[in-house]
């Protein structure tokens, strides 16, 4: 039953004034802790939850909240690293001032949400004075702080034009004259057009473009639609299709630049803007701006009466990393791909005929590799260690017809794909789900560009994928008797899940930051030598096909088929025969050494 207690009845029951009851709920600093506890206890006993917020706002004409206008859709806003960092700064101030934050979506030309928002003030990031949402707030006489220069109110800005000049001067100094600028553009997400109406660009995009043009001269401009990594990939493909071919692509955000890098790799110079948290790991040259501080200052302008500045300009700096190299500089081949004996590999896996960088070839190579080359860790158990140098890997897996574990398989397969014309990124994954049990990044997977989409390729998991999966949330995919799916997580990581017959389980989690050879070397050293690694504790051999997984774990051999009871036996003196049945022919000395393993 709804309580009929009021502020007045609580005051009478507690023997205090109505002002004291109001302070207990809204201004606890005005009361002693003992007095507040007494009032709240009486209120709880009477079923009184506190002053009605709606009535209070009508009486005081204050909502107790500010709004943040989003033009990109709220779900996307929480995936955008710039937006999340800016909001983090803004919420530091709203928390300090005990102010609510209302997220206001703006879709197309619909300003309904802006007009109905119950707020005392608002922030608008990246919007000019002529934007419909800004005009709607002005018509309501809502105090507004913008991150673009404004003639109408207060703002926290950076010098976007100067940031563009710094990028342009950097590229020009490296000898780049064929420069494409990729810009976010208020149109259908992912739509790419060769020319844009620059008057319709977001203010920051227009200024950054102008700065680059001032430093470089004539540039081509490609629209990417919304500020998303996939949009950057599509824009990069359009840029490469044009003539003359660019030697550098300057994106007006790090998110777009990440998409560009996934297409062009190190073949072209690539720059971004913002210095988002992932930029350093990606080796991205960019303009650093203090995003969190921008959010904090916008909040202070609205909520701190002692902060009277009308306009604040924050500093920026050029951060040079590996993604921008001089024009004409060949991309360094840290992986030694030119040393691969491709013909010997194709003979080993049974593939003939010309290779094309398409989905069918990728699938055929993936399936053939798994069918031909076992997953095993026997050199660790034999005390020989594991090398991830391509020469050593192909000598072992190709020439000597041995198997290997994830780093060896991944190093070899990535080299094969790159020689076939695919673009490949080496990625490090965790086994399982870190939200359930955090494990190190100890598994190597590949992101492969085939056609106009990315794929997850993984030939080194032992009991994992038979063929690549589209790197997208496309739902369950059947591979023989097995089912897999990729699911994006709120933490920005992808989860590869397998259906085990009773339910889905996460078998690995990864992000899409490309790794260097040194990253793989460090991960391999830990995996092959750490006493806590599963690969230093017992022999492991795994083979998988369309219907079954065969495993040798220590001395236990298991045959697993989905939906059927596992068949298990203990291996004794027949270890050599068991290994041969798994595709590994070892010397008598090697078998004897493994038989002596404890």
Q: What is the pLDDT of residue 72?
A: 67
Q: What is the pLDDT of residue 188?
A: 65
Q: What is the mean pLDDT of residues 295-304?
A: 94
pLDDT at residue 320 tops 70: yes
- Cβ of 37: how many Cβ atoms within 10 Å? 12
Sheet holding 220-223, edge to edge: 220-223, 179-183, 248-251, 269-271
| Structure tokens that stand for 454 in this block | 């990315």
The larger pLDDT score, comparing residue 582 to residue 63, is at: 582
| Structure tokens that stand for 323 in this block | 């993604």
| In contact, 393 and 453? CB cutoff 8 Å | no
Which of 80, 125, 458, 578 is an active site residue? 458
Q: What is the pLDDT of residue 192?
A: 67
Task: Report percent pLDDT > 90 for the chain.
Answer: 63
Choice among 38-47, 190-199, 372-381 with the minimum mean pLDDT: 190-199
Q: What is the mean pLDDT of residues 61-89?
A: 82
| Structure tokens that stand for 73 in this block | 């859709």
User: What does the CA dihedral 346, 349, 354, 357 come to, rounded to 10 degrees?
Assistant: -100
Which of 159, 160, 406, 578 is an active site residue? 406
Q: What is the pLDDT of residues 485-516, one digit of tens each?
A: 999 988 889 999 999 878 999 999 999 888 99
pLDDT at residue 403 tops 90: yes
- How many Å apart are CA 505 and CA 437, to the nearest integer? 13
Closest CA to 395 of 349, 444, 340: 340
Residue 155 known to be catalytic: no
Q: What is the pLDDT of residues 525-552, one digit of tens each?
A: 999 999 999 999 999 999 999 999 999 9
- How many Å apart are CA 179 and CA 172, to the nearest integer? 9
Q: What is the pLDDT of residue 130?
A: 86
* Sign of the alpha-carbon torsion through 523, 339, 365, 566: negative
Contacts of 277 (CB under 8 A, 6+ apart): 81, 85
Residue 458 known to be catalytic: yes
| Structure tokens that stand for 502 in this block | 């009773």
54 band by pLDDT with thresholds 50, 70 and 90: very low
- How many Å apart are CA 33 and CA 215, to the nearest integer? 63
Which of 170, 443, 454, 578 is an active site residue? 443
| Chain mean pLDDT for the chain | 89
| Structure tokens that stand for 306 in this block | 């002692």
Domains defined for the chain, CATH in brackets? 7-51 (1.10.260.40), 65-158 (3.40.50.2300), 160-288 (3.40.50.2300), 337-593 (3.30.2140.20)
Residue labelled with tokens 């890997």: 393
Q: What is the pLDDT of residues 208-244, one digit of tens each?
A: 999 999 999 999 999 888 888 888 988 898 888 888 8
- How many Å apart are CA 389 and CA 169, to the nearest integer? 38
Q: What is the pLDDT of residues 76-128, one digit of tens each?
A: 777 788 989 999 999 999 999 999 999 888 766 677 888 888 899 999 988 88
Residue 406 known to be catalytic: yes
- How many Å apart are CA 225 and CA 236, to the nearest integer? 12
pLDDT at residue 40 tops 90: no
């Amino acid at each position: 039953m709804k309580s009929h207690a009021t502020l007045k009845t609580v005051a009478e029951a507690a023997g205090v004034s109505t002002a004291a009851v109001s302070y207990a709920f809204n201004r606890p600093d005005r009361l002693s802790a003992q007095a507040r506890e007494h009032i709240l206890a009486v209120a709880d006993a009477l079923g009184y939850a506190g002053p009605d917020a709606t009535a209070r706002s009508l009486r005081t004409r204050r909502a107790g909240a500010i709004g943040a206008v989003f033009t990109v859709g709220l779900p996307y806003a929480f995936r955008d690293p710039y937006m999340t960092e800016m909001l983090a700064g803004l919420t530091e101030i709203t928390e300090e001032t005990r102010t609510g934050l209302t997220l206001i979506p703006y879709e197309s030309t619909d300003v309904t949400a802006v007009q109905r928002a119950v707020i005392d003030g608002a922030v608008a990031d990246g919007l000019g004075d002529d934007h419909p949402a800004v005009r709607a707030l002005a018509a309501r006489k809502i105090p507004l702080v913008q991150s673009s220069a404004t003639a109408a109110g207060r703002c926290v800005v950076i010098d976007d034009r100067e940031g563009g000049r710094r990028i342009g001067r950097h590229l020009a100094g490296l000898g780049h004259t064929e420069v494409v600028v990729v810009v976010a553009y208020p149109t259908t997400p992912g739509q790419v057009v060769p020319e844009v109406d620059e008057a319709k660009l977001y203010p920051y995009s227009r200024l950054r473009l102008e700065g680059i043009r001032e430093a470089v001269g004539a540039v081509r401009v490609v629209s990417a639609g919304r500020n998303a990594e996939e949009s950057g990939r599509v824009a990069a493909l359009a840029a490469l299709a044009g003539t003359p071919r660019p030697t550098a692509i300057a994106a007006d955000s790090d998110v777009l630049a990440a998409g560009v890098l996934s297409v062009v790799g190190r073949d072209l110079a690539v720059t971004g803007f913002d210095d988002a948290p992932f930029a350093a790991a990606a080796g991205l040259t960019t303009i650093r701006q203090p995003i969190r501080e921008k959010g904090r200052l916008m909040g202070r302008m609205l909520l701190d009466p002692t902060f009277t500045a009308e306009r604040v300009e924050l500093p920026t700096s050029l951060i040079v990393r590996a993604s921008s190299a001089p024009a004409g500089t060949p991309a360094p081949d840290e992986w030694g791909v030119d040393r691969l004996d491709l013909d010997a590999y194709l003979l080993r896996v049974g593939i003939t005929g010309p290779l094309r960088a398409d989905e069918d070839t990728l699938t055929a190579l993936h399936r053939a590799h798994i069918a031909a080359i076992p997953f095993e860790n026997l050199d660790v158990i034999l005390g020989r260690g594991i090398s991830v140098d391509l020469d050593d890997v192909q000598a072992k897996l190709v020439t000597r017809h041995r198997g290997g574990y994830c780093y060896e398989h991944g190093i070899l397969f990535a080299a094969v794909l790159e020689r076939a014309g695919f673009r490949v990124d080496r990625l490090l994954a965790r086994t399982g789900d870190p939200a359930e049990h955090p494990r190190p990044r100890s598994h190597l997977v590949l992101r492969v560009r085939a056609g106009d989409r990315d794929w997850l390729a993984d030939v080194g998991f032992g009991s994992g994928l038979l063929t690549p999966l589209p790197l997208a949330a496309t739902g369950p995919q059947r591979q023989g008797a097995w089912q897999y799916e990729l699911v994006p997580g709120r933490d920005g990581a992808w989860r590869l899940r397998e259906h085990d017959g009773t339910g889905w389980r996460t078998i690995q989690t990864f992000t899409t930051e490309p790794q260097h050879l040194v990253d793989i070397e460090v991960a391999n050293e830990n995996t092959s030598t750490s006493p806590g690694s599963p690969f230093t504790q017992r022999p492991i051999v795994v083979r998988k096909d369309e219907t079954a997984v065969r495993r040798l774990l220590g001395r236990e051999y298991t045959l697993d088929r989905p939906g059927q009871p596992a068949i298990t036996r203990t291996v004794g003196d027949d270890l050599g025969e068991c290994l041969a049945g798994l595709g590994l022919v070892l010397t008598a000395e090697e078998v004897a050494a493994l038989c002596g393993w404890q």
